[in-house]
Amino acid sequence: MASASARALRRIQKEIADLNANPIDGISYEFVEDNLFNWKCSIKGASDSPYKGGTFYFKLALPEDFPFKPPAVTFATKIYHPGINDEGSICVPILRDQWKPSITLATVLSVIHEKVNNPCTDDPFEPEIAAQLKNDKAAFLTTAKEWTKKYA
């Protein structure tokens, strides 16, 4: 039945209205081919993070049974980050096992924003980068800035 995805669509429209009313600093989004289930977002590196000056694109794909299944986030821009792996997957608990249908997309986006701009060693996706961040922070910062300049 189409009603499930129609409901998902209405909720998404509502979320977009909310996002337009209270935009998140540093995050912009557009829709791929006017498909509200397929978002192309970009995030600006905060000035106090090693990703300063970079714009990182990521894809936010909402599943058909949206509020019951979490959206899938994939980074398209290469980023040197302990929580984001080579394939662009980001390790955020609320997008995995801690997902709840009542979590809004605004929350998701701000959590991603927070996660990207504050690289920390909690739940790492790239253990090597996390280890480097822990042991040799200067080297990490250098590489991260380099990658930002190169790719973002």
Partner 1 sequence: MANPPPTFPLYPGPWSFFASGYAVSLFAMALLLNRIQNIVVPSRRSLQYLTRSSPDLRSHWTLLRLISPSIFPMDMSSTYSRTVLRLPTMYYILKSLVLWSIIFLQASDRFPLSLWKPLQFLDNWAASKEMDEVCWSTFLAICGALCAGALTRALEGVGTTNASPFNLFGYAFMLHFYSSPSTHTVKPEGLPSRPDVNVIFTIFVPLIQLSMIHFIGAKQSWSNQRLIPTTICSALTLIHFHSVLWFSPSSYPLLNYVSCIFDSLLLLVILGSITRLFIGHASSLMPKWDEDFSIVLLRLGIASLEATSVAGLGNEVSGISLTDHTETVKHQVRYGEVEMNRAGLSYTKKGFANDIRHVKVGTSSQGDPMVDVTWLMEFRRFGYSFARFTMGCWRILGRILRGQTDGESGTSNLNQQDIYERFLSGEVVSDDDEDFLPSGDSAPQYDDDDDDDGTGSDAPDDEADTFALYNDLSAVTTSTTTATLLLAHMTDTSSSPLTRRRYRNLVSGQHGIVDREQRAWEVFVNDKRGKMRRQDASVNESRRNCVICTIEERQIICWPCRCLALCDDCRQNLASRLSASKHTVHAAANLDDLNSVEGFSRIYIP
Helical ranges in the chain per DSSP H: 3-21, 105-117, 127-135, 137-151
Other Cβ atoms closer than 10 A to 87 = 8
Instruction: Identify which of 55, 111, 53 has the alpha carbon closest to the alpha carbon of residue 83.
Output: 111
Among 19, 88, 111, 141, binds partner 1 (CB under 8 A): 88
Distance CA 11, CA 66 (A): 9
Residues marked active site are found at 91
Q: How many residues bind partner 1 (CB under 8 A)?
A: 26
Task: Spell out, one character per residue from 3 to 42, where the chain touches partner 1: x when CB under 8 A holds, - when not.
Answer: xxx-x--xx--xx-----x---------------------
Which residues within the stretch 57-76 sit at the binding site for partner 1 (CB under 8 A)?
64-65, 67-68, 76
- Please state the φ and ψ torsions of residue 105, each to the nearest 5 degrees: -70, -30
| CB-based contact 106:22 (threshold 8 Å) | yes
Q: Which residue's CB is nearer to partner 1, number 58 or number 140?
A: 58
Interface segment toward partner 1; rule CB under 8 A; list 48-56, 94-102, 115-123, 126-134: 94-102
- Please state the φ and ψ torsions of residue 127, each to the nearest 5 degrees: -60, -30
Instruction: Identify which of 31, 19, 18 has the alpha carbon closest to the alpha carbon of residue 62.
Output: 31
Q: Which residue's CB is nearer to partner 1, number 10 or number 149?
A: 10
* 48 counts as binding partner 1 under rule CB under 8 A: no
* 102 counts as binding partner 1 under rule CB under 8 A: yes
Q: Which residues bind partner 1 (CB under 8 A)?
A: 1-5, 7, 10-11, 14-15, 21, 64-65, 67-68, 76-78, 86-88, 100-103, 151
